[in-house]
């Protein structure tokens, strides 16, 4: 498909066929009466990502795995303005191209929106938060929790040293743990955020009553972790809520209008069911 910068935006990642971003943005574009397009692209290499962003192909794009850190490096080497959240997390999920290019991360905004929407009873300022994973998604989660008022954040990572580095970067209120210390970290916690790519069975018994568990993935919508949380009486927070939450500010940056107030979650659930 040959494109020109005539109002086409995209989500880039690999694999990308499963992405619900075109469903979300396509529905908003239709509801807003805009003629723009929003498509999915799967560059094969980091070099192909850079070439795409350097071309006159798109007005902007969202970025998903495995290219968030790749695009951060692209923005840094090109002298592109990098937003504060992207600078802290060293990952980018939104790029505005054109005359005034800018690289942003709206992941933290999406995460907070998901928590507020599905676990409104949680007071982050009074909560002990456990974040599983110290990669780009983990950094985004820690940054979001800090901006949301949390002052007791425990990062758990397979490699304890990486968790300690992230904790040191974030400063007071953030502590690092190895995976063998996860039960210690979970004791008395109010919110668990899974920002890891894979996860063994966790014992959630040590979490506080009335707590919540979030999984950043939305395939499946209710992951085994969220099912265990529900069975223990904890509030599950799914990755689809985060996806929609980060898409709202992305839409406004890409197309210049607030996202219309329509039920895109229903459309996403229908798409997930159709995809099987």
- Catalytic positions are 68
Dihedral, 250, 251, 253, 259 alpha carbons, nearest 10:
-120
Q: Is 213 helix (H, G, I), strand (E, B) or coil?
A: strand
d(Cα 259, Cα 250) in Å, to the nearest integer? Answer: 9
Q: Is-contact 3 52, C-beta < 8 A?
A: no
- What is the DSSP code (8-state) at residue 36? -
Residues 111, 113, 119: CA angle, nearest 5 degrees: 95
Residues 8, 38, 91: CA angle, nearest 5 degrees: 95
Q: Residue 212 phi/psi, 5° resolution?
A: -140, 155
d(Cα 28, Cα 37) in Å, to the nearest integer? Answer: 11
Q: Is-contact 207 234, C-beta < 8 A?
A: yes
> What is the crossing angle of helices 264-275 and 239-255, to 10°?
120
């Amino acid at each position: 498909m040959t494109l020109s910068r005539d109002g086409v935006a995209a989500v880039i990642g690999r694999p990308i066929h499963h992405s619900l971003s075109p469903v979300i943005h396509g529905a908003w574009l239709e509801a807003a009466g805009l003629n723009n397009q929003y498509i999915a692209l799967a560059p094969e290499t980091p070099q192909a990502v850079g070439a795409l962003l350097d071309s006159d192909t798109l007005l902007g794009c969202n970025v998903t795995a495995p290219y968030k850190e790749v695009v951060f490096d692209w923005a840094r080497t090109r002298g592109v303005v990098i937003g504060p959240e992207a600078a802290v997390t060293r990952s980018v999920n939104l790029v505005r191209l054109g005359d005034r290019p800018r690289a942003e991360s709206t992941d933290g905004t999406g995460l907070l929106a998901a928590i507020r929407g599905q676990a409104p009873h949680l007071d982050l300022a009074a909560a002990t938060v456990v974040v599983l994973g110290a990669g780009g998604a983990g950094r985004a989660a820690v940054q979001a929790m800090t901006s949301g008022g949390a002052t007791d954040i425990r990062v758990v990572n397979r490699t304890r040293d990486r968790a300690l580095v992230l904790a040191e970067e974030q400063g007071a209120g953030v502590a690092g743990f190895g995976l063998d210390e996860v039960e210690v970290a979970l004791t008395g916690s109010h919110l668990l955020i899974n920002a890891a790519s894979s996860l063994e069975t966790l014992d959630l018994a040590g979490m506080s009553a009335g707590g919540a568990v979030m999984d950043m993935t939305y395939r499946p919508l209710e992951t085994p972790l969220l099912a265990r949380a529900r069975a223990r009486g904890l509030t599950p927070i799914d990755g689809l809520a985060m996806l929609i939450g980060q898409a709202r500010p992305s839409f406004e940056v890409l197309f210049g209008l607030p996202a219309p107030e329509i039920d895109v979650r229903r459309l996403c659930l229908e798409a997930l069911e159709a995809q099987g």
